[in-house]
Structure 1
């Protein structure tokens, strides 16, 4: 890569690692096959793959005031039928009525997707005399309803009422400290106390797209001064989708342009040298090291230059859904280590100019299907915009 930003300033003192709240967002078994530069290939197991839906939300305008309808036409998703999506609409409507921010709707949906596949489930312990309407029979002890709530949550009739169960979920959700910033798995587990807490993660991406389709792009909103604002997630501000822009700034060199067809990410101009770089979403650190240059040297503790080769100090993070983000050219050793679990917005390093670079900036990549190689790279600009975290500040 040949980067295009002018150098400025001098390397800073190493800052002390900030210890934040980190928790499991995905459970992943990694089998490394090879490691060449910043593009090692590996297999992933026990990771939910990217789920596809039939609803087109990429071009959906963000309307923070949109009210969900539980009686109108439902969007089409390959994974769920009309009745399941109406249950999703009920969950979102209750959240809206309670004035719970949209991040809560995503967490609630992902939880119900895991617990019941968005079906209002009865079980064999429900007396036939009650004749309660239901959409299937579950097998989890005495658990009932969309969230598979046990007797302590309410009576049988209450737990088989979708609006009641959603309200009880939100009431407990909002009591979880820092629930809007923490990984979905952690928050959902605090509410549900599940035997399989990591299972919620694989539903997060699809839950966000369902929220977008039913509630006017609401997964793209972020809470600022108590108000929902569209497409403004950056740094410590996390969109309802669970994503945030890693640094503020505008995109300079783009993704695989005509003059740089092998540029597998975008270059984001930093406001200043040593700008803090934030994890774009919750996940597990795969790589945090110095990338060798074209000569094979790991020489990252000084500024690089065009043609040197390598990412410099860089980090790769694996997120739910098989997404991987990459952050290159840090000024010093990253603040995270392989295997570490990070929350969205956690500081993972500082902007610099190490490696194949002509000046301080962040080279940022997004990969799909757990593929860190160039084959898995996609354009980060539309990807991040669809999640309410535009890299260039535009909508």
Structure 2
């Protein structure tokens, strides 16, 4: 091939790769979190600048392939998780449903297909242990009304029955996982499911290409777009749509334990996930005054009107500088996306914005603070314009 022909070929390939990359970015993860770079040979490579796992909406889960290594569960348990996801995919259940189903099975059976002492030995049905309940069977510990012994010990059947009942729960995609799981299971321990939501989302991401980071928009799944009333399959949403104007513990502000999000006054602030309000009050300034009903200024001190919310997994989110008293009170349960206040500039502030923090291990102090940017992106609810 002549030199001019080689140049023309490379130019055509470069234009094609650019066009395909742009289309994929529009269809999936805007901002590069799950975008792909196409080489001349057509290979797909994850963008090395991406934060967190990729997001491949169309990826089908493999039940027979190799399973990822996880500290919490073994190969057999993850294969059962893959069955739960595959059935959901076959039934065209949104990814949020897979997270709900997984968390339920994690609580009921630790993702094991459990028999019980009441199963006749003559049936010789395959199972992975004996449960403690004399008439509950399978991944979801379903009782006789759910089907025969053979059916309830068939993971795909048990999962389908769970989904069939789940989708009849009104507004199930917007409601807290615990509420939906309890409506289906009618458990004696209705609050136990929530503690598995975090890990269930991670398993969905690992087995189904980051699907827990998707949100339903106009009937289709979109990556990394959970904001306001839109909730990602992980159960999280961005508190407001503004971009970052000040980062986490920067060189200039090493004690800045969150990020500042751009927002004009009275922008609605949404709870980032379902949880219980711990604090909703005016934070005292450096002089000890609780003086939040007016604009603050740099150096005043304090968070102004603020809210702390405790979520499943021991996570705490904090929302500072509200314009007026928060719309929630301590002890109140809120759902992801609920409006908890309006942005302002009370407390130690140079202008209207939302100061947003994420803490781990139930630690409200600076020791528990982590960078919200990668945390929220991994949950499909990025707190930046790029998301």
Match of 1:233 in 2: 226
Over 3 Å counting, the alpha-carbon distance change for 1:86 and 1:347 in structure 2 is same
**What is the match of residue 174 of structure 1?**
167
- Structure with more relative contact order (C-alpha pairs < 8 Å, separation 6 or more): 1
1:388 to 362, 380, 383: 380
Determine the structure 1 residue equivalent to 2:238: 245
Please name the residue that 1:80 is paired with: 73
Q: CA deviation at 1:58?
A: 6.2
Give a deviation string over 1:237-295, Cα, whole Å, max 9, x none.
Answer: 0000000000001001000000000000000001x310110000000000000000000
Which of these residues, 355, 363, 378, is aligned with residue 355 of structure 2? Answer: 363
Tell me the equivalent position of 1:120: 113
Asked if 1:312 corresponds to 2:308, the answer is no
Distance 1:303 1:193 in 2: 49
Report if the CA contact (8 A) 1:232-1:393 is conserved: no
| Corresponding residue SS for 2:286 | coil
2:12 maps to none
Gaps of 5+ in 1: 1-56
Q: CA RMSD in A?
A: 0.9
Equivalences for residues 181-330 of structure 1 within 5 A: 181-270=174-263, 272-330=264-322
Structure 2 equivalent of residue 34 of structure 1: none
- The 3-state SS of whatever aligns with 1:210 is helix
Instruction: Quickly say closer, same or farther: Cα 1:58–1:87, change in 2 above 3 A.
Output: farther
SS at match of 2:317: strand
- Write the deviation string for residues 190-232 of structure 1: whole angstroms up to 9, x where unpaired: 0000000111111110000000000000000000011010000
Corresponding position of 2:88: 95
Deviations 1:166-192 (A, max 9, x none): 101011111111111111111100000
- Say how many residue pairs are matched: 338
Map 1:14-163 onto structure 2 (within 5 A): 59-163=52-156
**TM-score calculated relative to the size of structure 1:** 0.85
Deviations 1:289-313 (A, max 9, x none): 0000000000001110010000000
Q: Conserved in 1, the CA contact under 8 Å of 2:244 and 2:385?
A: no
Partners of 1:60 and 1:314 lie apart in 2 by 32
Structure possessing the higher radius of gyration over alpha carbons: 2
Could you tell me how far 1:103 is from its partner in structure 2?
Answer: 0.5
| Whole-angstrom distance in 2 between the partners of 1:168 and 1:328 | 44
Matches of 2:240 and 2:210, distance apart in 1: 23
Contact 2:52/2:374, CA 8 A, preserved across alignment:
no
Higher helix share: 2
Task: Verify the 8 A CA contact 1:184 1:200 in the aligned structure 2.
Answer: yes
